[in-house]
Every structure is written in structure tokens, then in C-alpha cells.
Structure 1
Amino acid sequence: MATTTADFETRRHDSFGLRVQHLLHGNPVLGPLAVLVVAIIAFSIVNVRFFSAANLSLVLLQVTVIATLALGQTLIILTAGIDLSAGAIAVFSSILMALFCTDAGMPAPIALLLGFACGTAMGALNGLLVTRIKLPPFIVTLGTLTIFFSLNAVVSNSETVRGADMPGLMTWTGQSIPIGDFRLSYGSIIMLLLFGFFAYALSSTAWGKHVYATGDDVEAARLAGIRTGRVLFSVYTTAGLLYAIAGWILIGRLASASPNVGTEYNLDSITAVVLGGTSLFGGRGGVIGTLIGALIVGVFRNGLQLAGVEVVWQGFAIGLLVLIAVSIDQWIRKVKT
């Protein structure tokens, strides 16, 4: 039977779709990068102030805390887990650091290290409950989310610790370096260095390969000799440390330690990871995509604000982006290898 023109066009369309599917499967960062570039161009056309150095500095400053949280979240989602307590650990750690300085009178470096240790311990608790008690990550972190926020309120008496009452080291992350009209905060520099380190760790170390293998198929990884329990525990513990560092950056960002912030940080960190192309089913994605995802969130919120869009519709746009990203991820996962 002769091939008709319609059949030829259908096959050509299917072939193009398969090529795109394979390309995105092998390079998860390409999709988010294209969205970010298009968004920047579009918002620059809508409002010429968007592409100014001052505004771009603001966008980077605004996404620094969320990006750092999303870095830890990425490690967990790569293992097919989830962490709903990310923001709670960050805020509680920031309060503990501040109180160690002000109430306990500790030197700033000691207070900072103890705060990092507390955040790491909170992440380790999540890891123990997931690996030893075998509880689902969603249930574990939903429970610790409530626990940490409650302890945060008790310890702080729901009172903010002013930056002026803390040593300069605690608010140092909020200071910035001028690069022409662009200002780069020390917190943003720390965040970028962390992304660089974990990009290397995931791509070039045995630990990184074990993280991907565990997320792709935990049983197959176990049969291959990988100690999946240790991998999962290390991921949650490392994420706790990253959340504590985000708490330090948050103190610099706000010039204070407030127990009344961070309720939206958990979902924002997951949003950045999903928009960055990391699969919620584990085993595919990376931290560079997460950084791009965090920037997408920042760019959209800032651009829509400059365009005069109401806050409620800004949230609508971000939510729509998440649904599209998850749908694309489902489509990409169907690729035949």
C-alpha cells in the first residue's frame, strides 16, 4: 500500500517529538534553561527596568535562600524522597544561632557551628526515621515540619532577634560586593559555591553515582552492592546542613532572626527542584537545573510584579508552571531506551 502524504507528515511529526523527548531525557537542564531565557526576554520587553543591574541584583538576592534550600531538596528528591521540613529546619536553625549569640553569650563562630550542627542533626533525624523505622519520607517530614516549627515558637517565644543585637558575622551574608551597578551578596556567593561543589560531587564521585542509582531503582542498587540505607541517611543529613546554611543566609537577608517566616519555603524549594527538571520519581536531574528553577521562580515573580500583576495571579502562574513541568517529566520518563 502506498504511503500517503498524511502518513508521511504524521511520521515526521512523531519522529520530531521522539527526538525532542530523547534530547530532554539526556539533558534535563535544557528545558528549564529555555524557559528562563524566554522569560527574561519577555519581561525585559514588558518593562525595561527588568533587565537593569539593580533589578537583576534584587532577583538573585531574593532567590538565594530558596535556592540553597532547593539544593538540599534536590539531593533528597534524586533518591525519590521528599522533604517538607526544609523551611522549618532553616528557620529553627537561624533562631538557635541567634540565641546562642545573644542569650548564651557564645562567640559568633561557635554559635554558627552549633547552629549548623543542630540543622544537621534535624536532617539526620529525618534520615533515621526513613531508613531505620522505614517510614515514608512524606509522612516523616510532614511530622517533623510541625515539630520543628512548634519548637521554634517555644524556644524563641515567637520574638524576633534583631541583627543589631548579634555579632557582625551572623548578618555578614547580607552584605554585598558592588560589580559596577550590580551587587552580589556574600550569601549569594556561598550559595553559588555550594551549587558548584555538589554539581561536582553528584557527577564525579562514587557517592553521587550511588545517589542516582538509589533514586532510579533502590532494589537494583541494593543488589548491586550499594548500601542504600547509608546513601539515604547521608542525603537527609547533608540536606539538614544545607538548610542550616540557608538559615544563616536568611539572617543576613532579613538583618534579623525571625521565627515568623518560612511557611512557604518548603513548597518554594520543591517548586524550584521540579521546574529545574529533577524528576519527582528520582534518578534523573541535577543541581544546575535546580539553580535555574529557582531563578525561574524569582524571574517570574519579579517580572509579573513589575508588570503590575496582582500577587494572587503571580502564584497562579508559578503553580501552572509546576503542573506543566511535572507533565513534561511524565512524558520524558516514557522515552524508550
Structure 2
Amino acid sequence: MTGPFHPRSPRAGALGCLVAVSILSGCAARPGPQVLEPIPASVEGARTVTVHVATTREREAPDGSQFTSRRAAATNYATYDISIPPVHRPGAIEWPDAEPSAATSFVTIRRAMLDRPAFEQGVAGAADRRRPRRIGVFVHGFNTSFQEALYRLAQMAADADLGGVPVLFAWPSVARVTGYLEDKEAATYSRDALAALLAGLARDGMAEEVVLVAHSMGGWLAVEALRQLRLTGRDDLLARLSVVLAAPDIDVDVFRAQMQVIGRLPTPLVLLVSSDDRALGVSSFLTGDRQRLGAIGIVARAVQDAAVKANVQVIDISSLEASDRMNHDRYLSLVALYPRLAAAGDGKAGGLRRAGAFVFNAVGAALSSPFELAGRAIAGD
């Protein structure tokens, strides 16, 4: 990316960092791998979402169906059927308790470990049953366990009702608040595997479009994979990609350098940002007070001009509700709104088309087409 992309945003101090970490550490107990144990489920009104998985996590045992936070020597593959309860609220994951029930919670009803040919065959078969043939790849962020990433994608697929095939790329996060540096190294370890996954999904016209959605540190991993694809001459794949980075945990200068290699994508790359994202404030502190891309302010003319020049769409989603106290997951509210936004845009999936800097109008909650603002636009091409 040429041109400035430096925002106006408050710096995170040591006190703010400690407060934020203490808030995160005080969260409720997290779901364990037992939620991945299949149970019989046949409940009226429940929906089933099939998630295909590619992961750089190591299997618990060579023939096992659980994944650890250790790094695998080669990509592993699996598929999971997740039942969504009739009482599901958009944006939420109803986690099972000690007695899982498909009537009240998400439950795993089937799982299978796969090799690469079986994985690609399963994704291709699922894509062939959809019109348009679209594959959605989700890359999770920092401090995320495998089961959290899996159920999150199932929730988003159920809420957005995109009609595409959900694919999870799960990298080996250690799922600890204090594991920031370990996670960054694990994400770096996984970038070639993500690039290979995207290349595989594009082979033989498996899908007409691949939508890549990445959150937090997963955004850095995703952009590194795009850079790798450009360097290896995969312009054909980049031309079919739609990319959404939600609260990306990327140094602004690093992003600009990455985009200088990647260049302009045919479909504008979308950034979902919030200047009051506390988790990115912590990241800024941990990285030497370096500005994070997902917390940029968009009012500055330099940001607007750089977005248009680089064919990037920057959307400030600060008006949306966050479910965490760090204001780091507002993108989930946008996902929950997708059916209404798609209806307003005649169901078109290609609404991420306009470069510039925008503010999302949460009150109107209306887009002329998916993700294309009909609210207050600050700038555009």
C-alpha cells in the first residue's frame, strides 16, 4: 500500500494493559474439548451446520479426533456436524453444560478425521449443492481454543445464512491470555498452510468465490498468506478472493508493507475497525506502542485517501454492540445483521465493492447490498 495509513488513536499505557488483561482473566470458565464428543441429537427446530476443518494443530493421538495446541508437522483435516438449538440467539453460542441437550445448546452430533483428498472432495461436494458455489474460510484470532473456533464458525454460518460452505482454518493458539507471543509464533508457523489451503480450494474451479474472513491475530496470518500467494504467482486465486479482516491485529506499517507486495485486489479488501478496541490497545502496548490496524480512526483524510488508492474498504463498526468487555468482537453483531442487510441488497453477496472509509449506521442497520453502507459515508471512491 502506498500513501499514509496512520490513524488518530490513543496509545495504550501500562496501566490500561494490566486492567485489560485482568478483565480477560476474569472471564467465566471456558469450554473444554469434551464439547466435541458426539451425542445423539434429534430435536424439532434444531439446525445442523457442517464445518470442514483444516488445521495446523497436532492430533491428540495419531488416530484420535481431538486437536491440541501443539504444532502439527503437516495440515490435518476433519469435518464436524454441529446442531444449533431452536432457542439460539444471533451472535451467541449456547454452550452445553454437564448434560448437553440439543434443545438448549450447541452440540456436536458427528465428527470425522479426514485426509486431504477426502477433505477436498467433501468441500467440493458441498459447494456443488450451493448456488452460487461459494466457500467461506474463517481464521480465528488470539487466545482461541479449537472448540471455540469451531463453534464460532458454526454460529456465524447459522446466523448469516450465507449459503456457502463453511471452512475453518484452525492454527495452534495456546488459548491463554498470557500466550500472546506464543500465539504470534504459531500464526507465523501456519501461514504457508493457509496459503496452500486457499490454493487447494481454488483448484479445478471448486468454487466461484472464496470468502476469507479473519479475526484479530488471524488477520495478520491471512494477509501473510495473501502475500505468499502473490509471491508465488497465484493471481488467479487472488482475483476470486473476497477478504474481510475483523479487528485485525496488525502493525499499521507492516500492513502497508504487506499491501505493497499484494497490490490492489479486484474486490476491495474490507477492514472492520473500532478505535476503542481494548484488546488491540493491549496488543499495541505489548508490541512497543505500535498502532494496530483494527483500531485506526477513519476521519483523517490520509486514511480515506490511502483506502481508495489501495482499493480497501474501511468500516468503523464502533456503533455495534460487543459481547465481550474488550470491544473486540463487534463483527459478530454485523454477522447477525447479515440476513436483513442481504435482503435490502436483493440477496447479492458481492456488496463489499466500494473502496473508502465509512461509518456503519447501527441505528438504520441497512445496506444497499451486503456490507455496502447506506448509512453515513465519510468518504468513498
TM range (shorter): under 0.3
Structure with the greater alpha carbon radius of gyration: 1
Higher-RCO chain (CA-CA 8 Å, sequence separation at least 6):
1
| Higher fraction of helix | 1
Query: TM-score, normalization: structure 1?
Result: 0.25
